Structure 1
């Protein structure tokens, strides 16, 4: 049930974006062991002046292939998050040519009762899942 929102610079092709989303989904499947159709992804394309992503003094060099990813999810273990980060960077590099230094991720945790998948119902609370 993670919801992934991607911020990227505009200019990538539909195929490149699809490859990026598919790669990220494989990382979700591997790290979080969710069902195949547990896929929620949104892409925001931005003009270069709309994204300022530096390095917090870590010496990380960025390119125009930058991907900023927010992962909204129920709590995950540190091991799951670490595996996701590793798999995400591997998938994006191997399948899309995106360098690990161009991948920034933030996890936003919430509880299962914070989710509604539709119909005005919090399915985890009502037991509909």
Structure 2
């Protein structure tokens, strides 16, 4: 936990995809201070016409390298979120060539009773985590 749904335009190679997912995970570990094996990522690949990310009148155009990351997480501080956004920008830019204009992130928070990691139990509530 956190749970990441990552949306991209189809066309990256297996190696490029692995690098993208690792860069995102490294940012998560660094910014949210989660354990290394706390990794829940779902990659969704779309046709270009099925992943619309317009600019909300900010005056820029996105490319087919666009990445939309939807994060579901326990509450995080504003500082942690800002550190996550900055780390993503750096890691995805340096390792994957993702331009700043092509990155969009949405964080949604839920409570501890919103998670079960298996066995039909809420591990945050039972004290297992």
TM-score w.r.t. structure 1 length?
Answer: 0.97
| TM superposition shift of 1:51 | 1.4
2:73 is aligned with 1:73: yes
**How many corresponding residue pairs?**
129
Pairing of 1:18-97 with structure 2 (within 5 A): 18-97=18-97
Q: Deviations over 1:68-104 (max 9, x none)?
A: 1001100100000000000001000000000111000
State how far apart, in whole Å, the 1-side matches of 2:100 and 2:47 are: 21
RMSD across aligned C-alpha pairs, in angstroms?
0.8
Secondary structure of residue in 2 paired with 1:63: coil
Shift of 1:61: 2.0
Runs of 4+ in structure 1 displaced over 4 angstroms? none
Structure 2, unmatched stretches of 5+, are: none
**Structure 1 residues without counterparts, runs of 5 or longer:** none
